[in-house]
Amino acid sequence: MKKTIRMVLLVMIPFLFTSCFDYVQSLSYQNGNFKFYCKMSMPKELCDFIGEDPEEIKKEFEREAPEEFDYKIIDNDYEIGVEMVFTTNQRRAAEKEFLPKIAINKYSVPFFLGTRDFIDAMDLIDDEISTEDHDFLNIALACIKGRLLISKKLIPAIKEAYFEGITKSISDFSLPVYDYGDSFCIEVPVNTLSELSETHTIDKIILISQ
């Protein structure tokens, strides 16, 4: 299942050049089940700018969307993209890699945008483009933020969020936490993911509850 999530994420790689790539992931908990939601999209008006056909993008999403997920293609007057939802619990052993790990007040939550395949794809683009395009890509990435929403039913209060250093000698990378009312929002600047991939565990976000 993790492979299929990565495949869908890789579809979005060309959109990083537009600085209008939108990524939202959420986690909620109800009746013993964890519900994951993921949305990836971009404005249609930019498809012409980057030479992409919206219908071809739509077909690509339909081909790559994981069968295990409930998914819906986003296709309206403004944007093109995909929404994916799946629900799992402790009894479903095949999906335990997606369950948040909980130890007293410390939660480890999967962050799909930090998967190794996605980072490798970004690095490959970085290696192949010109210096001028490289500078533009860096500016574009600096404008993009991935967002992780955590329901307050799961964690009523979050004290801090961060990516853990891969060794104790490496300081954790702090992430901002915002109160959205019914949920908390953790924002991740996309341009930091490649930089942190060799020093931090970026496919999981650590949350410390109060």
DSSP conformation letters of 55-123: HHHHHHHHHHS-TTSEEEEEESSSEEEEEEEEEE-TT-GGGGGGSPEEETTEEEEE-GGG-HHHHHHHH
Q: Is it the case that residue 14 has pLDDT exceeding 70?
A: no
The two tokens of residue 202 are 């970026």
**Mean pLDDT highest for which of 10-24, 87-101, 149-163?**
149-163
Kindly state the DSSP code that residue 46 receives in the 8-state scheme.
G
Q: How many domains does the chain have?
A: 1
Which domain does 82 fall in, by range?
A: 2-209
Rounded to 5°, angle at Cα 103 from 101 and 108: 35
What pTM does this model have? 0.79
The reported pLDDT for the residue numbered 30 is 82
Question: What does the pLDDT look like over 87-120, one tens digit per residue?
Answer: 877 665 455 666 778 888 999 998 988 877 777 7
Rounded-to-integer distance, Cα 156 and Cα 152, Å:
4
The reported pLDDT for the residue numbered 178 is 96
Question: What does the pLDDT look like over 199-209, one tens digit per residue?
Answer: 999 999 999 99
Rounded-to-integer distance, Cα 159 and Cα 178, Å:
11
**In terms of residues, how long is the chain?**
210
Quick one: which H or E segment has residue 52? none
The reported pLDDT for the residue numbered 169 is 95
Average pLDDT, the chain: 78
Question: What does the pLDDT look like over 39-64, one tens digit per residue?
Answer: 888 777 766 666 677 777 777 767 76
